[in-house]
Chain A
Amino acid sequence: MSAAPKDSSHGASKASLLDTLVASDGAVSAFVVILGFLCGTALILAVGKNPGNMYAALLQTLSGFDVTRGSWNARYIGEWLTASMPLILCGLSMGFAARTGLFNIGAEGQYIVGLSAAQFVAIYGPQVPGLHWILAVLAGALAGALWGGIVGWLKGKYSVSEVVATIMLNYIAYFLSRFLTQLIPEANTYKTQSFPKTALLESSLLQGLTNGSRLGLGIYIVIICCLFYWFIIERTRLGFELRATGFNKEAARCSGIKVTKSITLSMGIAGAFAGLAGVVVALGSFNYGRVLSGYDYYGFNGIAVALVGNSTAGGTLISGLLFGMLSSAQPLMQSRQIPKEITQIISGLVVVFISLRAGFRMIMEWRAKRIAKEKRGERDE
């Protein structure tokens, strides 16, 4: 923020560079991320620690390379990717809704129903290798889609605000999941029996590559989802319809687009992404069914992920990896005497800064006005 007005005092060539940077959403995102890290660094200095330790921890998360000991362990990379997966998927959920003009604050609920559905299929589904986990994945996606789709339909048909509806459905999903999971005979108040092997999203290949990390088949789901998101939004008739509805519902209706169907589909697809996030966590990070004792907050964090990723497929992928890095670097930072809360502060700052984009625009307008004035002054002389 502080850099922008300083730049403006230089000539027109610098200003035009700034213009292009502000016009590009990606550049703004990169800029605010850097700004977030700078603030985090300053904070560490302020509490009298060495910020180099934070960057060493982050490097170890990203590459598995431990600078202090000079050792390398690929498991850290696997754990980083594992932590990023649900964030990316929830980011896609939020982003898809945002691109189609909706605010999906219900990714958390859709995540929970996806997770619960997958747990049920894992416990009661046919234990056929290759089929069992696929069924569980489909069940989770479908449950999420249904949970989101209801909201879309209510909005399209009866103009029920999707914000209110999703918040309420988050609670319903949470308590319903607790209630139903506890009905499983072998379940106690916090967990069910272990899942059969056939339901888990394990991959011996990926585990071998990452030195025994939890990284599993979920990564393929994430990649497929990113491609699917990009393809639907940017390339298809359906995406065109959904985006048109999102930007201007009335004009879309006038053009013959069925708006209720569009909104229902948008929320359904968004819900499916969040549902898959639930599946990836349930069958990838755990080997038993959980009776939830609170939100996992992946759904809510997805809002930040989509915001920083500008709701594009690639941007959300990168931004999800960034937030995943911050969260999986926490234990490594702690072992290097850096308070782990720093990462949360950095995430928070990034979100605040990205929200200040409107502020950048205001500075631009102020500058445009000044330039116009200067030009007029020259002409008068």
Chain B
Amino acid sequence: MNTKKNTEQPEKALEGSVRHAIEMLDITKVFPGVVANDQVTLRVRENEIHAILGENGAGKSTLMSVLFGLYDPDGGTIKVKGREVRIKDPNEATALGIGMVHQHFKLVRNYTVTENIILGMEPRKRDGTVDLLGAEKRVAELSERYCLSVDPHGKIESITVGMQQRVEILKILYRNADILIFDEPTAVLTPQEVDELMDILKRLKAEGKTIILITHKLKEIKEAAERCTVLRRGRYIGTVDVASTTEEELAEMMVGRAVKFRIDKEEARPGELVLSIEDLTVLSSKGYPAIKNLSLSVRAGEIVGLAGVDGNGQSELVAAITGLSHIQGGRILLEGRDISKDSIKDRILAGVGHVPEDRHKHGLVLDFRLDENIVLKSFDQQPYSSRHGILDFQAIAQKGRDLIEQFDIRASQGPATKAKNMSGGNQQKAIIAREIDLSPRLLVVAQPTRGLDVGAIEYIHRRIVAERDKGSAVLVVSFELDEIMNLCDRIAAISKGEIVGIADAATAEERSIGAMMAGVRAPKARRAMDATPEAQGGEP
């Protein structure tokens, strides 16, 4: 760990001269069976943007929850602006000037922006009623000062996710916070919104605020942060100066080994048409059209990525293809046959594989054993079930052992391991194993690597590419543009239930895809669309 040595020294030297906004020293937090933070140290200087980098489960959120008073640490001390404190609950954190923008916003959807901001500390007029006008004025002032351009009268349900995030920021500014914690703030944003957020962060810093940015995205750290503290498996790895550290070095600190950013794959050799969606219309559960006259095709031997921000019809499209929901118009053809009226079972038998977005809700029966989950779609067939409907548990366990070996699934008790006792990465591997083992013609993969660590992501991407090379048609839905750009051969951008444009991944620019995700049919995007026939050029 030479990076660590290089960076520790200068910091020690500066110790005397630099004022720290936050010092968390030797923080330890234990959960049953897990040490989430093991003597972690974090020193955030006043008026800096300090990133906390780590994989899922590295202990970033735990550390911040300790700072915000949500967890009581089992050891260590916390100093805020040089003074040792004990933070028992979020109210005390707020009183100390610490504010947090949570990953999942905590807003009342049918209240206005101002009402949400003042909720819990409503200013009173002399007669005891809420001084809404005064509050609105102050919100407008704050919004202007930090260039947030938030409308104080807007209802939360009618503003964009990016705006909602700014309301969260305003909420803590309104409470006079000068230390702002952002927990994975870009997870829900479009690329454009991410850029705007980066500007907001810089603006906040210019106004004298201290910012802690929790993330696992290296690009954002390079763009916005000055220093970065890296955690791995609950331990402090080091604090580095961002400008003098490369993305590769940061990744290595985060994962503990060298990481490949690009996926090694050969050029796609698209074959015959496998999935062809024509004029599809699907109503959402609330009754409005979630998919509008959508057409899309996927060929054998290619990976088509559906890029888009969460909630633009991706889940409905996947549900329509796999048979989980009914369609209102159009056709879904699998190898030329209309499957849109078929049952889920018939589609599985016809060769539709599905790696669902929510692996706990749709992918696994968590209380079942691993091998039972592996045969969840085939338990009613030979050799797992006799003709009389009696199960052969030996055959099921054997299949479990086979796939554990083939797919490198780590399970402490082998095929008998309960699915709920496995890590997220291994659960996902189990689902991928099950789906690939059924040799699907079409593999629909939604959010294949959400919440997984870098190692598991690499593996799952490799498997998806291998499936393509075997001649399957693969449709990938992901909210991570990087993943789409990296993994897919063609990219279709979806916005408000419509395909805005289709681009060849090799030549597409991230910027133009981002614009399309936001619903802009920019000239650039048009050109990418025009380019698609060429991308499929060789094929009739």
Contacts and interface: CB of A to CB of B under 8 A. Distances in A.
Interface of A: 235-241, 243-244, 247-248, 250-258, 365, 368-369, 372-373, 376
A254 B349 CA distance: 13
A251 B362 contact: yes
Interface residues of B, number: 34
A250 B362 contact: yes
Contacts of A243: 368
A199 to B, nearest CB: 34
Interface stretch (B156-164, B195-203, B222-230, B373-381): B373-381
A331 to B, nearest CB: 43
Interface of B: 28, 30-33, 35, 74, 322, 324, 343-345, 347-349, 354, 356, 361-368, 372, 376-377, 379-380, 385, 389-391
Contact of B376 (A244, A368, A369): A244
Given A244-B368, A248-B361, A248-B366, A255 B377 contact: yes
Contacts of A254: 322, 324, 344, 354, 356, 362-363
29 contacts: A236-B391, A237-B380, A237-B390, A240-B379, A240-B391, A244-B368, A244-B372, A244-B376, A247-B365, A247-B367, A247-B368, A248-B361, A248-B364, A248-B366, A250-B361, A251-B362, A251-B376, A254-B344, A254-B354, A254-B356, A254-B362, A255-B344, A255-B376, A257-B345, A258-B343, A368-B32, A369-B30, A372-B33, A376-B28
Contacts of B344: 253-256
A256 B356 contact: no
A238 B389 contact: yes
A256 B30 contact: no
Nearest to A367: B32
Given A237-B379, A240-B372, A256-B348, A372 B30 contact: yes
A243 B367 CA distance: 10
A365 B32 CA distance: 6
B389 A236 contact: yes
Contacts of B348: 255-256
A376 B364 CA distance: 35
A236 B379 CA distance: 10
Contact of B390 (A235, A244, A247): A235
B343 A256 contact: yes
B436 to A, nearest CB: 15
Nearest to A257: B345
Given A235-B391, A236-B390, A256-B348, A373 B30 contact: yes
A250 B322 CA distance: 13
A8 to B, nearest CB: 14
Given A254-B322, A258-B345, 9 more contacts: A237-B380, A241-B380, A244-B376, A248-B361, A254-B363, A256-B343, A369-B31, A369-B32, A376-B35
- Residue among A238, A255, A258, A373 with most chain B CB within 10 A: A255
A237 B391 contact: yes
Contacts of B391: 235-237, 239-240
Contacts of A236: 389-391
